[in-house]
Amino acid sequence: MNVSSKPERTRLSAEDWELAALHLIAEQGVGALAVEALARQLGVTKGSFYWHFRTREALLQAALERWEQYGEREVLGQIEQIADPRKRLPELFRRVAHELQPHRVYAALLKALDHPQVVPVMARVSQRRMEFLTTAYREAGLPAPQALNRARLTYAAYVGFLQLNFTLGLPRINHEEFDAYVEHMIATLIPA
């Protein structure tokens, strides 16, 4: 009990800073990413930070790239293994709806689209997801142009939902009602 109260007294690596940065972004947004605040949270001081990174901007960049690389497979990787294209979209909807935690960073980044560093990342990620949705709709039986528009609509609904329920607390929809909403989405957006 003499060494430290809570944090493990191991030394830090650049990866630790990046993960902590992503965590902070998910909780308080990109604007709250300050080096002294992060350092406090990690139990060290700025001196540590500026050994690992040249600047605050560099940390943001590294964190964003890490998120883009390692964060995407969790979302889309599993889904691609579902053989039946017919079942794929409903399954995707239900999983996304019930595992909202990985989407917190995306929601936070969505609110920082005025920041020059996040725009290209979000553009790539969103574009990739959109393409995934589009082909999924085509495989589900929609003709090409309709599939694209349906993907746009679906993805917009996803993004809007994140905003309205994470950040804003619209009449705090409860659990059963939420499930009903998801099924309504499936019935409305996915062709029979």
Partner DNA sequence: AAGTCACCATACGGACGAGTATGGATCGCC
Partner DNA sequence: GGCGATCCATACTCGTCCGTATGGTGACTT
Contact residues: a second copy, CB under 8 A = 28-29, 31, 110-114, 119, 122-123, 126-127, 130, 145-146, 149-150, 152-153, 155-161, 163-164, 167-171, 180-181, 184-185, 188-189
Q: Which does 116 bind (CB under 5 to 8 A by kind): DNA, a second copy, none?
A: none
Which residue has tokens 């990174």?
53
29 versus 71: smaller Cβ distance to DNA: 29
Are the C-beta atoms of residues 26 and 63 closer than 8 Å to each other? no
Neighbours of 125 (CB within 10 A): 18
The nearer residue to DNA, 32 or 170, going by C-beta atoms, is 32
Q: CB 184 → a second copy: shortest distance, Å?
A: 4
CB of 168 to a second copy, least distance (A): 5
Which residues make up the interface to DNA (CB under 7 A)? 11-13, 33-37, 39, 43-48, 50-52, 54-57
Pick from DNA, a second copy, none: which does 47 bind, CB < 5 to 8 A by kind?
A: DNA
Structure tokens at 32: 């709250």
What span, in angstroms and rounded, lies between the C-alpha atoms of 154 and 97?
Answer: 13
Whichever of 45 and 167 has its CB closer to DNA, that residue is 45
Nearer to DNA, 4 or 81 (CB): 4
CB of 66 to DNA, least distance (A): 18
- Positive/negative CA dihedral, 60, 64, 70, 74: positive
Write the Ramachandran bin of 191: left for phi over 0, alpha for psi from -120 to 50, otherwise beta.
beta
**Residues in CB range of 107: below 8 A, 6 or more apart:** 162, 163, 166, 167
Q: What is the CA radius of gyration of the chain?
A: 20
13 vs 146, which CB is nearer to a second copy?
A: 146
Is 14 within 8 Å of 65 (Cβ atoms)? no
